Chain A
Amino acid sequence: MLTILKVIKNRFEQGHRTSKYPEENINLYKRFRGLPIVNTNCDPAVVQQCAAACPQEAIDTDSCQIDLGKCVFCGLCESLSKGKYVRFSQNFEMGTAARNDLLFAVSLPNLANHSKKHFKKLFGRSLQLRQISAGGCNACEADTNVLNTPFFDLSRFGIQFVASPRHADGIHVTGPISKNMQQALLTTWEAVPDPKVVIASGACAISGGPFYGSEDIVGDLNSLIPVDLYIPGCPPHPLTTLHALLQFFK
Chain B
Amino acid sequence: MDKMDKFLRVHNGERVNRSAIPHLSFHEFRNELLAFTVAGGQVVQFFAYRDNKDSSSLKLLAVLRNDKLYVTGCDAPDSFASLTAVTEKFHLFEREIGEQYGLKAEGHPWWKMVRYHRNCTGKADVFGNDYSEDIPGKYPYFEVEGEGVHEVAVGPVHAGIIEPGHFRFQCFGERVFHLEIQLGYQQRGVEYLLQTVPLKRLPIIGETVAGDTSIGHGLCMAQGIEALAGLEVDQGAKVVRTLALELERIANHIGDLGALSLDVAFSPPAAYFGRIRGDYLNLSQILGGNRFGRGLVRPGGVTQSMGEEQRQLIQEKITELTPEVEHVNDLIFSTPSVRTRFDHTGKVSQQDAERIGMVGYAGRACGLPYDARVAFPTECYADLPANSNGKIDGDVASRADVRREEVMHSTGLINTLLARSEEARTYTPQDIRLAPDSFVVTVNEAWRGEASHCILTDEQGNILRYKIKDPSFHNWTGLALALREQGISDFPLCNKSFNLSYCGFDL
Give the B-binding residues of A (Cβ under 8 A): 1, 3, 6-7, 9-11, 13-14, 17, 28-29, 31-33, 53-56, 72-76, 79-80, 88, 131-146, 148-151, 161, 163-164, 175-176, 178-184, 188, 209-211, 213-217, 234-235, 237-238
**Contact A139-B193, Cβ < 8 Å, known A80-B429, A149-B274, A180-B135:** no
Closest residue of chain A to B274 (Cβ to Cβ) is A149
Residue B189 at the chain A interface, CB threshold 8 Å = yes
Least CB distance from A173 to B in Å reads 11
Closest residue of chain A to B501 (Cβ to Cβ) is A138
Count, chain B residues at interface, CB 8 A: 75
Residue B498 at the chain A interface, CB threshold 8 Å = no
The reply to whether B291 and A133 contact each other, CB–CB distance below 8 Å, is: no
Least CB distance from B147 to A in Å reads 32
CA distance A176 to B286 in the complex (A): 28
Least CB distance from A220 to B in Å reads 14
The reply to whether A33 and B331 contact each other, CB–CB distance below 8 Å, is: no
Contacts of B292 in A (CB 8 A): 139, 142-143, 235
Residue B369 at the chain A interface, CB threshold 8 Å = no
**Contact A13-B327, Cβ < 8 Å, known A74-B204, A216-B189:** yes
CA distance A133 to B115 in the complex (A): 16
The reply to whether B161 and A33 contact each other, CB–CB distance below 8 Å, is: no
The reply to whether B204 and A210 contact each other, CB–CB distance below 8 Å, is: yes
The reply to whether A181 and B278 contact each other, CB–CB distance below 8 Å, is: no
**Contact A180-B187, Cβ < 8 Å, known A72-B204, A131-B161, A211-B205:** yes
**Contact A3-B275, Cβ < 8 Å, known A10-B327, A74-B204, A74-B295:** no
Of B45-53, B152-160, B398-406, which stretch is located at the interface? Answer: B152-160
Closest residue of chain A to B155 (Cβ to Cβ) is A184
The reply to whether B188 and A9 contact each other, CB–CB distance below 8 Å, is: no
Least CB distance from B231 to A in Å reads 17
The reply to whether B336 and A3 contact each other, CB–CB distance below 8 Å, is: yes
Contacts of A213 in B (CB 8 A): 193, 197
The reply to whether A136 and B278 contact each other, CB–CB distance below 8 Å, is: no
Residue B316 at the chain A interface, CB threshold 8 Å = no
Contacts of A150 in B (CB 8 A): 271, 274-275
Give a binary string over B107-134; 1 marks a CB under 8 Å from any A CB, 0 the rest.
Answer: 0000000011100000000000000001
The reply to whether B212 and A10 contact each other, CB–CB distance below 8 Å, is: no
The reply to whether A211 and B291 contact each other, CB–CB distance below 8 Å, is: no
The reply to whether A14 and B272 contact each other, CB–CB distance below 8 Å, is: yes
The reply to whether A217 and B189 contact each other, CB–CB distance below 8 Å, is: yes
Which of B184, B189, B294, B328 lies in contact with A10, CB distance below 8 A? B328
The reply to whether A7 and B201 contact each other, CB–CB distance below 8 Å, is: no
Contacts of B160 in A (CB 8 A): 131, 145, 161, 163
Contacts of B200 in A (CB 8 A): 53-55
Give a binary string over B472-507; 1 marks a CB under 8 Å from any A CB, 0 the rest.
Answer: 000000000000000000000000000001110010
Is chain A's binding surface mostly helix, strand, loop or mixed? mixed
Contacts of A55 in B (CB 8 A): 200-201, 203-204
CA distance A54 to B204 in the complex (A): 10
The reply to whether A134 and B164 contact each other, CB–CB distance below 8 Å, is: yes
Closest residue of chain B to A209 (Cβ to Cβ) is B208
Closest residue of chain B to A234 (Cβ to Cβ) is B294
**Contact A28-B157, Cβ < 8 Å, known A135-B503, A180-B135, A214-B192:** no
Contacts of B506 in A (CB 8 A): 178
The reply to whether B186 and A181 contact each other, CB–CB distance below 8 Å, is: yes
Residue B268 at the chain A interface, CB threshold 8 Å = yes
Closest residue of chain B to A17 (Cβ to Cβ) is B275
The reply to whether B193 and A211 contact each other, CB–CB distance below 8 Å, is: yes
Nearest first, the 10 closest Cβ-Cβ pairs linking A and B are: A139-B211, A163-B159, A216-B189, A149-B274, A137-B211, A31-B289, A138-B211, A183-B134, A214-B189, A74-B295
Interface centre among A1, A80, A136 (most CB of B within 10 A): A136
Residue B351 at the chain A interface, CB threshold 8 Å = no
The reply to whether A10 and B331 contact each other, CB–CB distance below 8 Å, is: yes
CA distance A161 to B162 in the complex (A): 12
